[in-house]
Structures are given as C-alpha cells and as structure tokens.
Copies of this chain bind each other. A is one copy, B any other.
Amino acid sequence: MKETVIKELKKVELNHPILIEGLPGLGLVGKIAIRHLTRQLKAEKFAYIYSPHFPYFVLVSKKGNVRLLRGTFSFWKDKNGKNDFIFFTGDSQAQTIEGQYEISDFILKFAVKLDVKMIVTIGGYRMEAKDKPKVIAAATSKDSLNMALQAGAEVSPTGSPIVGTAGLILGLSHFKKIDALCLLGETRGYLPDPKSARSVLEVLQSMFGFDANLAALDEEISKAEKMVTRLQTIEEKRALEAEETRKEEEKKVTYIS
C-alpha cells in the first residue's frame, strides 16, 4: 500500500447526508462522541480508509484476528428527519504533516462522492472546564455557525488553532464547496473525557434532532471522574512529599551556614 485508499463494503443511497467526523485527539472527545452515536443509533459500517500515513502496526481484534489501523465510515438513515447521517472515526490520526492533509482530503473527496451537504468535525479544546464543559464552535459559513450557537455552543476565540483532521477538513472543505462546522469540547485533554463528549453530543442532538440517549454515557463519565480524582490524589501526595523534602533541605542549609 503506497497510497491512501477507501474500501467500500457496500453501496449506499443516502438522503442529503450530513457527515460527522471524530478521530482520536485531545481527551478522545471526537472518538468517544462518534463511537457513542454509532452504537446508540445502530449505524451501519459501509467503508474503511487505509493509509500508509497511519502508524505501522496492526491490532489484534477478537479471537486472535488482526486488522490494519483504519478509519471507518458508518451510515444511519433518519426516518423522521430530512437528512441521513454518516459517522466517521478511526484508530489514529495520520502520523506525518503530508499524511494529515492527505487523509482530510480523502475524507472530503469521499463526502463529495456521497453528495454530503454538511460536515461536522469534533475535537477537544484544552481548557479546564468549570463544571459542565463548554462547546466551542468555528465554521466555514455563518449559517452553520449560527446553528451551533443556537444549540448551545460558543463561538471560538479568534486566532485559536484547530489541530489535525478536525481542523484541516474545515480548511480544505472550502475548495469542495461543502459547508463545515467544528465543535470542540472543553477538556484537560490528557485522559479520555466522556463528559466533554457528552457536551458536544448535546449540541449535535439539539442541532439535528436525533435521540442520542446521552444517559448511556453517565457510567463512563463517572468512571473517568474517579480516575481523575485518583490521579489528583497521587499527584497531591507527591507534591506534599516534595515540599517536605525541600523543607528538610532548607533546614540543613540554615543550620550549617
């Protein structure tokens, strides 16, 4: 495999589809959100993207089977709405600069082929959330941005960078004449953050009217918060001990000189 490829598992006919993307990144916000949506809505896998710009290992899946790292497209037909949905997530971001541009470009070209009307990308925004993580929005058109703001998102500060596929898809969508919106959930970023993903999902739910059953995320959120508390306790203890050691050292210096 010298080139990135998209392998379609089946041909699908979709009604004015909207593509929602979330690859692993800060706090895994995008990946957690898409995984939740595909499970709750029982979206069906219909295409994979493979690339020599993904890391050079494979994963052992269930029962000793093996698979390449990949991105996965699933679709969900919304019987009550005027749009069907495509969800995209994957194992990894591309590992090189050129690969990042290439993967984003492939996703966009595939979106054009599927006649996608709008793309929403999801990621994390490094910020200690007060209580409930906010959702920060940026978009290629005023209409898309307003949809997000009305659904509870806040407009991104000017000059803020959006790193990786979530950002490049917006930058490149301009050339494909597809409207694109980016939703970033506030997150510390260094641990999986389902609470931040929940905030993003609330905005999506409000924008598109589907039922994402957000309560199903609560157990995961509770586990993640316990992990954070445990790590903070360890860190505080370590800081305390370091402080003790420093004081002992200071005494030593004082007594001698």
Q: Which residues of A come within 8 Å of B, CB atoms?
A: 1-2, 52-69, 95-102, 104-105, 137-140, 142, 145, 155-164, 167-168, 170-172, 174-175, 180, 182, 248-249, 251-253, 255-257
B1:A52 contact, CB within 8 angstroms: no
**Closest B residue by C-beta to A154:** B64
B164:A68 contact, CB within 8 angstroms: no
Main secondary structure of the interface of A (DSSP, over half): mixed
**What B residues does A251 contact at CB under 8 A?**
256-257
B52:A101 contact, CB within 8 angstroms: yes
A52:B98 contact, CB within 8 angstroms: yes
Residue in contact with A56 in the complex, picked from B137, B164, B257, CB distance below 8 Å: B164
Copies in the complex: 4
A53:B98 contact, CB within 8 angstroms: yes
B66:A102 contact, CB within 8 angstroms: no
B1:A105 contact, CB within 8 angstroms: yes
A163:B57 contact, CB within 8 angstroms: yes
Give A69 to B52 CA distance when docked, in angstroms: 22
Give chain B nearest CB distance to A141 CB in angstroms.
8
B253:A168 contact, CB within 8 angstroms: no
Give A160 to B96 CA distance when docked, in angstroms: 23
A157:B66 contact, CB within 8 angstroms: no
A155:B57 contact, CB within 8 angstroms: no
A162:B257 contact, CB within 8 angstroms: no
**What B residues does A102 contact at CB under 8 A?**
1-2, 52
Residue in contact with A64 in the complex, picked from B69, B145, B163, CB distance below 8 Å: B145
A64:B100 contact, CB within 8 angstroms: no
Residue in contact with A2 in the complex, picked from B101, B163, B182, B255, CB distance below 8 Å: B101
A97:B53 contact, CB within 8 angstroms: yes
B95:A95 contact, CB within 8 angstroms: no
